Amino acid sequence: MKTLLSISLFLAAFYANAQRAYIYGVVRDSTTMEHMIGAHVRNLGAGSLTSTNEKGEFRMPAKVGDTLVVSSVGHKTLFWIADSSWFATDEEIEFFLPVNTIYLDEVVVGEFPEYERFKDLILAEQPKDTTFRIFGVPEVIMDPYPVLEKNQYLHPAFVFFHPVSAMHHSFSKREKEKRKMQHIMKREHISTQARLKFTREWVSESTNLTGDKLTSFIAYCDFSEAYLATETLFAIHERMMELLPKFLEDYEKS
**pLDDT tens sequence across 93-136:** 999 999 887 655 566 666 666 777 777 766 666 555 555 555 55
- Residues 178 and 203 placed together within one structural domain of the fold: no
CA–CA distance, 157 with 154 (Å, rounded to integer): 8
Answer with the one of 63, 97, 131 that is the final residue of a domain: 97
- Residues 132 and 170 placed together within one structural domain of the fold: yes
- Residues 86 and 133 placed together within one structural domain of the fold: no
Give the CA radius of gyration of the chain.
Answer: 34
**Predicted TM-score of the model (pTM):** 0.36
- Residues 184 and 220 placed together within one structural domain of the fold: no
> Is the pLDDT score of 194 beyond 70?
yes
- Whole-number average pLDDT of the chain: 78
CA–CA distance, 82 with 93 (Å, rounded to integer): 11
Does the residue 70 lie in any domain? yes
The mean pLDDT value for 218-222 works out to 89
- Residues 168 and 151 placed together within one structural domain of the fold: yes
pLDDT range class, residue 195, cuts 50, 70, 90 = confident
pLDDT range class, residue 10, cuts 50, 70, 90 = very low
The mean pLDDT value for 212-231 works out to 87
Instruction: List Cβ neighbours of 223 (8 Å cut-off, separation of 6 or more).
Output: 194, 198, 236, 239
Domain containing 88 equals 20-97
CB atoms within 10 A of CB 26: 19
Does the residue 10 lie in any domain? no
> Is the pLDDT score of 243 beyond 70?
yes
Q: Out of 52-56, 61-65, 129-133, 212-216, which region has the weakest mean confidence (pLDDT)?
A: 129-133
pLDDT range class, residue 54, cuts 50, 70, 90 = very high
CB atoms within 10 A of CB 207: 19
> Is the pLDDT score of 143 beyond 80?
no
- Residues 27 and 88 placed together within one structural domain of the fold: yes
Number of domains the chain is built from:
3
- Residues 120 and 184 placed together within one structural domain of the fold: yes
pLDDT of residue 178: 79
Does the residue 161 lie in any domain? yes
> Is the pLDDT score of 70 beyond 90?
yes
- Helix extents (H) in the chain: 2-18, 115-124, 150-153, 156-161, 163-171, 173-197, 200-207, 211-221, 225-230, 233-253
* pLDDT > 90: percent of the chain: 18
The mean pLDDT value for 216-233 works out to 86
pLDDT of residue 132: 52
